[in-house]
Each structure stands twice: as structure tokens, then as C-alpha cells.
Structure 1
Amino acid sequence: MADEESKKLTAALNVMRRMAPSTIENSLAGLCELTPNLTDDLLNNVDQPLKVEMDEAAQKKFITCDYNRDGDSFRSPWSNKYFPEADSEALYPSKYLRQLEVDANAIFDVYRKLYFEGGSYSSVYFFSIEGSSDEKKGFGACWLIHKDVDSTEEDLKKGWWDSTHVFQVSHVKGETYEYKLTSTVMISMVMEDSKLGSCDLSGSMNKQKSETLTLSKTKGTNHLVNMGTMIEKMDDRIRAIIMEIYFSKTRQIVDGMRLTSGARNRQMDKIAASLKDALKQSKK
């Protein structure tokens, strides 16, 4: 029975990997309805578009995810309160992790403004790792950015960008730590034109990287600097790949389906030349 359930889960995840990010929520809901016994596994393994909630205490918006969730409530990094209010047994970061979280949110908010500008939100959550007795030697962190793309063009109906960077930090020796980073970027742009119809340019990408880095007061390096540097490099890498795969490849496919006038004329010239050569050969 376990093997059968495993096969069903694998098949369901394969289906979800082929779904456009703009339809993930509906597709996931449909699969959960078809296989209710796999609901928890599906929710834990399928990346969904990020959502934004309001922190009524701090009057700032924050991003929700599994790392700040307790039941149906979500903890804000700004006020450290749950919305809606959670019960007394809700999880909170330790004093050490909370201070890292506060500093990280302040830094990441600046990063968001520099790279994503308006319509974007950021949140960072630090959490303890199961099995780690000393949080200073082992912890996790989730760095999130959500941006709604402004519909400045007439044919852009809606669009968004989600970045999720999850770290597992482990102590190696002395002031040296290993940082395991898993990054997921989801992008969606729904185009609509009265003459051409609608087009959904959506995709997602997942990348992993591990680095062993040292903390140094003299060089000004700490956990936040090390993680921030890795995030910046990973964001640049994924953005370049997305541009190449989803946009350059799309342009290449479209050009292959419908040649521009210049390319069509050159192609016709080649065909004409080939026919002339064939006629010459047949007359010999």
C-alpha cells in the first residue's frame, strides 16, 4: 500500500511540475480533491504563489509561508505577532534568532527597494532546526520577495514574481559554517490582446547551492552578510536563466513558426537556388 501511495504522489507531483504558476492553486486544489489522503504531502511539496497579509500592529504588509505559519495563523516579522491571533502554544523564534530576524528584515527591505522597486514586499523568517541543540550552531532561515507587476502596458493583464530562498546553516568548526541554499523563483505574466487573444508566459525554477564560509569581525562578515551575498548571486543567476529559457527560447520558437519578411525572402532565394541546381543536374 505504501508503494502504491508513493506512486500516486510521484505522479501527482509530476503533473504539478508541468502546470503554469498562474494555475497552480486551482490545479493543486483539484488534485487534493481527487486524492484527499495525499493532501498534506502535496501541500508540503508543491511551491505555491506567495500571499501577502496585513500586520495590523505594525501597519505593514508581510508575506505568508509555511515557515511563519501556525495552524491558520501567520506570524509577522515586523511585530512578531500572529494574525489572526494564535493560541498560547504558538511557535516563536528564540531571542537569538529573533534578533537575526529583525536585522535581516531591515536589510532585505533595502535590497527589495533597490532591485524590485514598487509593488513589492519582503519578509525574512528565522527558525530552529529539529535535532539541533544549540541554535547558534544550527538554524534555518527563509527569505521571501513578492512583486506584483504594474499593468503599464495595454496588453499586460496581470503579472507577478515570487522569490523564496531557504537556508540551512550548520556549524563546521570554529567560526566556519556551511550554508545550504535552496532557491525557487516563480514568474507569471498573462498577456491579453483583442486581436491575438491571451497568452500565459509563466514558469518556475529551482536551484540549490552550498558554501562553507567564515565569520570575521575584522572583515565585517556575519551570517546576514554571508546569506545576503549568496542570495544576490543566486537571484542574478536565476534571472539570467529565466531570460534565456523563457523569453529567448520563446522568441526562437515563434521565429521558427513564422519567418520575418527578410528571413522569408532569404529562405525563398535558397529554395530557388536549390531548384536551379537540381534542374541543371537533371539536364546533364
Structure 2
Amino acid sequence: MASEAQFDAALDLLRRLSPLNVSSNLTAITSLVPDLTEDLLSSVDQPLSSARCKKTGRDYLLCDYNRDGDSYRSPWSNEFEPPLDDATFPSDRVRKMEVEANNAFDVYRQMYYEGGTGSVYLWDLDDGFAGVVLLKKSVAREAGWDSVHVFEVDERRGSGNGGGRTCHYKLTSTVILHLKSGGGGGGGGGDQELNLAGSMTRQVEADLVVESAGGQGKDGGHVCNAGRLIEDMEGKMRNMLQEVYFGKAKDVVGDLRSVAPLTGVNRDRQTQRDVISSMGGK
């Protein structure tokens, strides 16, 4: 078994390497220390990949939460590809919620992403259930957005009151963003390429009232509550990326590279110096 020190060192190393190569870096580390494979795959978020369901012909996203060995479960057919003899499936109740959640987030994906791929996977817990909502949007090879929302619903931790029963929800959201710009830069420097990549993780917990929704009653209410939490979290993370991270990157680029011609900048600086010197002579 790999030691805890090896696991911490591997995480520390991955944080310092380029986010663009997280998948290849993860493969390299696990090849050196195979005992870390399961722990790292469940702890490190990496860009999502997709596969096509052979039974329905629909695309679905792959992650550690729908993986069993080398097989992945399709949310559309509820079958593993390649097939497994001893696979673990969600209970009938949780599977019905999974189908409802996939339909709901398919609408969400079309509204917010105008394309892309989305998948929802649920599984049973002793005190309730848990799930993951995956959303991916790529623009050729120039940009990519991957969001992973893992949530847990503790049905025993809530309480009953006059307004209905409440349950405890815990959501951990990660966004992986990659932007690429390049080719034919000016200034005689030849082709120039800019890569901007990184990830952000945020967490929230809330006690929410579970109201009946749709034909599944309270279970439909769970889907609605999880959807509201994820929608609110994605909105906050998008705003933070736009205002904080992209705003700061824009300021840095603006300080490093002047948009105005260099001759004009020098002329303005000389005019400023002349004005200051003339004021000092009075």
C-alpha cells in the first residue's frame, strides 16, 4: 500500500504541473506508484472525456463515478460498456431519480451551454444518496469548459416541520477551463501562442425543504433542489472567473503589452516630462 506521504506528495506535484497536461501527468504518476491509482483517480479532477452509448446512440461523459474497472456505465441505458458480470447498479428508486435528473440537466445544458455534453450519475448511501452532474463544452481545440458537481443528500440529518421535511445537501463543484489563442502574432516574433488553463473548486452546504415535484413526488423535489444549488453555484463561479481571474489577466497583459504604437507612447511621455519641467521652472 502506498503511504500517506506518497499520496500527499503526488497531489502536491500535480498542483505544480501544468493543468493542460493533468491527464498525462496523472498517468505517469500512477505508473510509478500503482497503489495510488484508485486514490488519485477519485481525488484529482481532470478534463472529461466522452463515449457513445451503443444501445441508444447518445453521448455520455466518463468519470470515476460511473467507472467499474475498465468499464463505464451509460446513464441512458444503465448498462456498462464493456459489459460486466458483477457490476454495481443504483437501486430502483435512485435509478428513477437518475433518469429524471438526466432529463432535467439535458434542458439545462441546452439553455446555458447551447450544445456540449452532459451526464448525471446517482448512487446509494446509507443515509440517503449522492450523485455527480457532469457538463462539458468544447470549441474545436481552442477552448474547453468542464464542470463537475458532486453532491450528497443526507435524508436523516434533516427535520420535519409545518412547511415540510428538510434534508441536508452538500455540494462540491469544480470548473476546469482551458483557453488557447495563437498563430501569426505581430511584431516580427513569428507565431505566438497563449494558453490559459486552470481549475476552481467551491463547496456549499444547505438544509432545504423537499417538496413534491412531477410524478416522483419527494424524489422529484430532490432533483429540483440539487438543480437549484448547481445552477446558483455555476453562476457564481462564472462571475468570479470573468471578474476576478480574467480581469486580472487582462490587467497583466495590458501592463506588459501596449496597444498604442511605441512612437506615440514615447511622444506622450516626452510631452509629460516637458510639462513637468516647465512647471518646475516657475
Fold similarity call, TM over 0.5: yes
What residue identity is the alignment partner of 1:203? G
Provide the C-alpha distance between the structure 2 equivalents of 1:260 and 1:199, rounded to a whole number of angstroms. Answer: 17
TM (norm. structure 1) is: 0.84
C-alpha contact (below 8 Å) 1:73/1:84 kept by paired residues:
yes
**Is it true that 1:206 corresponds to 2:192 in the alignment?**
no
Distance 1:198-1:258 versus aligned 2 partners, 3 A rule:
closer
Partner of 1:217: 212
Displacement, 1:35? Answer: 3.5
1:126 corresponds, among 122, 129, 132, to 122
- Alpha-carbon shift at residue 200 of structure 1 (Å): 1.0
1:179 touches 1:211 (CA, 8 Å); kept in 2? yes
For residue 108 of structure 2, the aligned residue among 102, 106, 111 is 111
* CA gap 1:28/1:269 in 2 versus in 1, 3 angstroms: farther
Q: Tell me the secondary structure at the aligned position of residue 186 of structure 1.
A: strand
**Counterpart check, 1:146 vs 2:136:** yes
Task: Report the Cα distance in structure 2 between the residues aligned to 1:94 and 1:10, rounded to whole angstroms.
Answer: 35
> Relative to structure 2, which stretch is displaced further, 167-176 or 103-112?
167-176
RMSD (Å) for aligned C-alpha atoms: 2.6
Is the 8 Å Cα contact of residues 130 and 150 (structure 2) preserved in structure 1?
yes
Using a 3 Å threshold, how does the CA distance of structure 1 residues 227 and 33 change in structure 2: closer, same or farther?
same
Instruction: State the SS of the aligned residue for 2:236.
Output: helix
Q: Percent identity?
A: 37
2:177–2:197 CA contact under 8 A, matched in 1:
yes
Deviates more, 1:71-80 or 1:210-219: 210-219
Q: Separation in 1 of the partners of 2:66 and 2:275?
A: 67
Residue of structure 2 in register with 1:154 after alignment: none
User: What letter corresponds to residue 111 of structure 1 in structure 2?
Assistant: Y
Q: AA paired with 1:113? A: Q
Residue in structure 1 matched with residue 83 of structure 2 by the alignment = 85
Structure 1 equivalent of residue 227 of structure 2: 228
Structure 1 residues 20, 236: CA separation in 2 closer, same or farther (over 3 Å shift)?
farther
The equivalent of 2:6 in structure 1 is 8
Q: Kindly tell me: are residues 54 and 256 of structure 1, through their superposed partners in 2, closer, same or farther at Cα, counting changes over 3 Å?
A: same
Q: Is the 8 A contact 1:188 1:201 kept in 2?
A: yes
User: Which one-letter code corresponds to 1:46 in the other structure?
Assistant: V
Q: Which moves more between the two structures, 224-233 or 9-18?
A: 9-18
Q: Is the 8 A contact 2:170 2:204 kept in 1?
A: yes
Gaps of 5+ in 2: 186-190
Q: Does 1:180 align with 2:164?
A: no
Q: Are 1:76 and 1:82, in contact at CA under 8 Å, matched by a contact in 2?
A: yes
Measured in 1, the distance between the counterparts of 2:124 and 2:129 equals 5
Query: TM-score normalized by structure 2?
Result: 0.84
Change (3 A) 1:271 1:206: farther
CA contact (8 A) 2:159 2:166 kept: yes
1:257 matches 2:252: no
User: Which structure 1 segments of 5+ residues have no match?
Assistant: 152-156
